[in-house]
Structure 1
Amino acid sequence: MEADYVIVGGGSAGSTLAARLSEDPNVTVCLLEAGGRGDGLLVRTPAAVVAMLPGRPKINNWAYETAPQPGLNGRRGYQPRGKALGGSSAINAMLYVRGHAKDYDEWAELGCDGWDWQSVLPYFQKSENNERGGDDLHGGSGPLQVSDQKSPRPITEAFIRAGRSLQIRHREDFNTGDNEGIGLYQVTQFHGEARNGERCSAAAAYLHPVMDRPNLTVITRAHASRILFDGKRAIGVCYRRRRSDHEVRARQEVILCGGAFNSPQLLQLSGVGRREDINPHGIDMVHELPGVGQNLQDHLDFTLAYKSKDRDNFGISVPGGVSLLRHVLNWRKSGEGMIATPFAEGAAFLKTDPTEDRADVQLHFVISIVDDHARKLHMGHGFSCHICVLRPNSRGSVGLTSADAMAAPLIDPQFLADSRDLDILIKGVRKAQQIMTAEPLAGYIHKELFMQGDVDDVALEQHIRARADTIYHPVGTCKMGTDPLAVVDPSLRVHGLDGLRVVDASVMPRLIGGNTNAPTIMIAEKAADIIRGATAHA
């Protein structure tokens, strides 16, 4: 089989890119996805994320683990990643967050010309069909449905009012380029039509509506095992499907969209990367590129959790079960109610020090008790607040555990390797505690679940090292730039090789100050224009 473009990975970037490139009827596109179609009821139902996220069993989820983390008492962290068309946008909390304008301006300062805020803003707008309509900051006609929350719970409104009582500014829109404040997240959710209230994954937005294009071939359950090279030119991809090996050839380019873990892994399996990462596995070197798999950054997250007598949230109880059935029926009828929730309803972006030029911690207020990624359940009802460090100083890596392409990558985030991250996280937790214990939210607390009573910073550090983990935003392992550790240039072409690009969150040189789904879709939108421009001038 042959195609002009072979895209590896049908996640947020791959779905977007395949749809955009195949808009040209004179171009053929083949998309390989290791998972399934990503259009089942569990994906479409927002609250059903609780069935997919824990990875027990692995439903639409790679459910990776990290190497033991010295900064987390030697624990192995958990790394859920979407395994279906739509990728992690099929199993995430649907939060639509762009980050801060200065995040992108810093990319440009690092040598990523054309990736400053003013240059990327049009691609955010192009992707977006915002329920509030289009304006100078938002799009009103793009494929990605962005919605106000259907039925935020009263306890979430109490969270916002508690923050405002502490003089935290109320923010209606976290996506203007400045996100400091407290309010409700917008979500990637269908609005105002037959699918009102359903999850709008990247695949649902971009790919599923165009699967019948004659110039687009989508192959699911296809696990890429190796990039095929002719000298220094990528000419195709080898993949495994139903226990058989297959090849697809690329007349123009191979484009990796596997994300921060799978894109560097596939490069290394193909002989591209650091010699010391590749040679021990008996893989022949094709091209030495020292940045492959380096520069891993992720948002380390710590959770406060509280028991509550309020039952207008998710919990385990007989009355809660009866109420849940009622909400399911309501959602199937109207798309509204508690089944439409992203769980993480309340948002806050805060400065831990007033001298900071932008918020350096983010809060996710969740209408349920969250313990170990919902892998540990608690009887009764309650709520949680996540706190993460937005721009971590720690840097980790992704490598190989084996030459077997079916083996999981070696993921080592090196959480808290830089002590500054711990200092910021402690300050962030203190900020969150102030909100949680302010009225009217304080009235919802029956008891704190993990840290009862006053806890000093020494004890808080012990709690953090015992329970903190990712909030699912790994980036940076195929970083964009022109420095010695850059893997791709500002056009996302792999340095030193022809016919090969990387288009996903792995190209971010620095982690942005927010959730990474919307920025990943933006990257793919911009990449489509770059690729079309290169073809037009060829």
Structure 2
Amino acid sequence: MAKKPYSNEADYVIVGAGSAGCALAGRLAEAGKQVILIEAGGPDTSIMFKRPGMITMIHSEPKLKKKFDWGYYLSPQEHVNNRRLVATRGKVMGGSGSVNGMIYVRGNKENFDSWEAEGNKGWGYADVLKSYKRMEDWQGPDSELRGKGGPIKVLENPDICDAAKTFIEAGASALGVPVNPDYNGASQDGMHVIQENTSNAIRFSSSRGYLTEQELPTLEVQQRGTVSRVVIEGSRATGVEVIEEGGQRRIVKARTEVILAAGAFGSPQILMLSGIGPAEHLRGHGIDVVADLPVGDNLHDHLFMPMTFAMDNSPHHSSAFYFGKALLKDRFKPGSNFLAHSVFEAGAFLHTSLSQSTAPDMQLFAIPWSYPPFQDDPVRLSPDKRPSLSAFSTLIRPKSRGTVRLASADPLAAPIIDPKLLSEPDDLKVLLEGVEMIRAIMADSAIAKHVKEEYEPGPGYTGDKLRAEVIKRVSTVYHPVGSVRMGVDERAVVDPELKVRGIDGLRVADASIMPTIIGGNTNAPSMMIGDMAGAIVLGTGL
């Protein structure tokens, strides 16, 4: 049976079926709007995407990574030994939300109130809380701060192992912080069990929650097409140009609006290819300037430093044989083992000595696995196979800022991604304090008897030697934001209604619009941005 040809016109054309794009498309289609959603990747129907614990295969198997990832690398990072770190981005329905660790974090109240204080009316905590509550189906206790019945299932992992439990207990004891029953509730601070967007051993990405689980007759999803530019007539966006897999090009027209949701790398790249961006940079690539705006500036990301400890109460082994047995068991009894949940089990939000606000500046993660020590090329990783617990010192309020720029006018060429990691000295200081916090936790009596060895990086790394080792090992958390900044001043690309300045009929709705990164994992906030964008576009309010 011949494939039905794609449509070439709709009320709204949305570019990017990631965490924000799917949420936005779902909201508009639910309201009866004719929507075309364009995704460069393919479907997320494979068990690899459905089963939460199978992300390791996608990240470590070269053929899978090539198929489902954009294959980006950062430019050589001057302050990180000129390393070219991997910049993983999902190229599949659900975007990076289909290949991530599913740690569900809303962000700190202060994060959103600071956005509003900068002039972004409608983006304060009270506003985004309404969106979070609408999109959640929280499986935990009833709370006026949590949502029930929304499209995204969220639960606290009920099956964490003994190593993770003792990590939480020891953290509270060693650092003098509480065990927090809901870090997405009234307070973010303290040790906690990870919350994840899963249900019945199924990943609830925005693709599943907003699209697969809904009946949306006015939505058309077009896959395996790369958007090369926004079509602009005069000062109005009227559609997009799409490059199909075979190289053919076609125009998809938007009767009402074009909305970019291609992420912190994709959205600025498409804008610049369309003549919207820093004028001198565009002219250098032979691109006519339509609007001279600071597109690609303000790029920033979270960073982490991994540490691994040999533990006698950790159940897992980082070996192909162990993983293969789990796959076999899951085949006959789905959801019966660790594949049913996120690999991340325990965590914390903490304050270092550099913290200057009520919001934490340090996040810890713990996983009952050995974590590979070097992240420059994940397809060549070789983690230790002993029972282990890995903990991560994570910088969540980075000061360093960088850029996204075009490498050429070729829309199929990867952009130049330069977040200028650790260019601000305080960022490294925070990471170092996090390492010492982890060591204090692992020395506490609640967990010390189970710790056999710190073998990554090792107890011999202190002082300047530790500083050098952090620079050698630090990795991004794959949370890029800010490159199409929302605001009301000359630094902004979009206004608080997400409209691109000076261009009618064009908005951006994804993590790129964040003025500053939120405190914690960015997947839930990206879905929230898509959900908020739907309310803004429809004019329905929250």
Q: Same fold (TM over 0.5)?
A: yes
How do 1:108-123 residues align onto structure 2 when only pairs under 5 Å count?
108-123=116-131
Q: After TM superposition, give the deviation of residue 330 of structure 1 in Å.
A: 7.1
The equivalent of 2:367 in structure 1 is 366
Output one character per residue of 1:333-385: Cα deviation in whole Å (capped at 9) or x when no partner. Answer: xx342112311111111111276422111011012111235541134222211
TM-score between the two structures when normalised by the length of structure 1: 0.94
Query: Structure 2 vs 1, CA of residues 184 and 246 (structure 1 numbering), >3 Å: closer, same or farther?
Result: same
Output one character per residue of 1:295-338: Cα deviation in whole Å (capped at 9) or x when no partner. Answer: 001001111112345561242275x3575357525751xx3421
Aligned with residue 522 of structure 2, among 516, 527, 532 = 516
Q: After TM superposition, give the deviation of residue 177 of structure 1 in Å.
A: 4.8
8 Å CA contact retained: 1:306, 1:384: yes
The equivalent of 1:232 in structure 2 is 235
Aligned with residue 37 of structure 1, among 18, 23, 43 = 43
Aligned with residue 176 of structure 1, among 185, 191, 195 = 185
The equivalent of 1:298 in structure 2 is 301
Aligned with residue 377 of structure 1, among 378, 382, 392 = 382
The equivalent of 1:390 in structure 2 is 396
Q: After TM superposition, give the deviation of residue 443 of structure 1 in Å.
A: 2.9
Aligned with residue 530 of structure 1, among 505, 525, 536 = 536
How do 1:23-422 residues align onto structure 2 when only pairs under 5 Å count?
23-25=30-32, 27-54=33-60, 56-57=62-63, 58-132=66-140, 134-166=142-174, 167-190=176-199, 196-210=200-214, 213-243=216-246, 244-289=248-293, 291-310=294-313, 312-316=315-319, 320=322, 324-325=326-327, 328-329=330-331, 332=334, 335-353=335-353, 356-371=357-372, 372-373=374-375, 375=379, 376-381=381-386, 382-422=388-428
Give the whole-Å Cα distance in 2 for the aligned partners of 1:366 and 1:126: 30
Runs of 5+ consecutive residues of structure 2 not aligned to the other structure:
1-7
Give the whole-Å Cα distance in 2 for the aligned partners of 1:477 and 1:207: 27
8 Å CA contact retained: 2:314, 2:389: no
Identity %: 37
8 Å CA contact retained: 2:28, 2:534: yes
Give the whole-Å Cα distance in 2 for the aligned partners of 1:37 and 1:326: 24
Do structure 1's residue 442 and structure 2's residue 442 form an aligned pair?
A: no
Give the whole-Å Cα distance in 1 for the aligned partners of 2:455 and 2:163: 17
Q: After TM superposition, give the deviation of residue 284 of structure 1 in Å.
A: 1.5
SS at match of 1:6: strand
8 Å CA contact retained: 2:180, 2:190: yes
Q: After TM superposition, give the deviation of residue 407 of structure 1 in Å.
A: 1.1
Q: What is the root-mean-square deviation in Å for CA atoms of aligned residues?
A: 1.9
Q: After TM superposition, give the deviation of residue 437 of structure 1 in Å.
A: 2.5
Output one character per residue of 1:383-424: Cα deviation in whole Å (capped at 9) or x when no partner. Answer: 211111111110011011121111111100100101111111
Runs of 5+ consecutive residues of structure 1 not aligned to the other structure:
191-195
SS at match of 1:357: coil
SS at match of 2:433: helix
Output one character per residue of 1:180-209: Cα deviation in whole Å (capped at 9) or x when no partner. Answer: 10011110001xxxxx11111110111123
Query: Structure 2 vs 1, CA of residues 107 and 185 (structure 1 numbering), >3 Å: closer, same or farther?
Result: same
Give the whole-Å Cα distance in 2 for the aligned partners of 1:453 and 1:144: 42
Q: Which moved more, 1:49-58 or 1:245-254?
A: 49-58
Output one character per residue of 1:411-447: Cα deviation in whole Å (capped at 9) or x when no partner. Answer: 0010010111111111111111111232333333332
Q: Which moved more, 1:131-140 or 1:474-483?
A: 131-140
Q: After TM superposition, give the deviation of residue 286 of structure 1 in Å.
A: 1.4
8 Å CA contact retained: 1:39, 1:204: no
Query: Structure 2 vs 1, CA of residues 379 and 416 (structure 1 numbering), >3 Å: closer, same or farther?
Result: closer
Q: Which moved more, 1:377-386 or 1:241-250?
A: 377-386
SS at match of 2:41: coil
8 Å CA contact retained: 1:66, 1:76: yes
Q: After TM superposition, give the deviation of residue 287 of structure 1 in Å.
A: 1.2
Give the whole-Å Cα distance in 1 for the aligned partners of 2:67 and 2:312: 32
The equivalent of 2:4 in structure 1 is none
The equivalent of 1:15 in structure 2 is 22
Equivalent pairs, count:
524
TM-score between the two structures when normalised by the length of structure 2: 0.93
Letter in 2 for 1:45: R
Give the whole-Å Cα distance in 1 for the aligned partners of 2:450 and 2:71: 33
8 Å CA contact retained: 2:155, 2:198: yes
Give the whole-Å Cα distance in 1 for the aligned partners of 2:123 and 2:207: 24
8 Å CA contact retained: 1:47, 1:339: yes
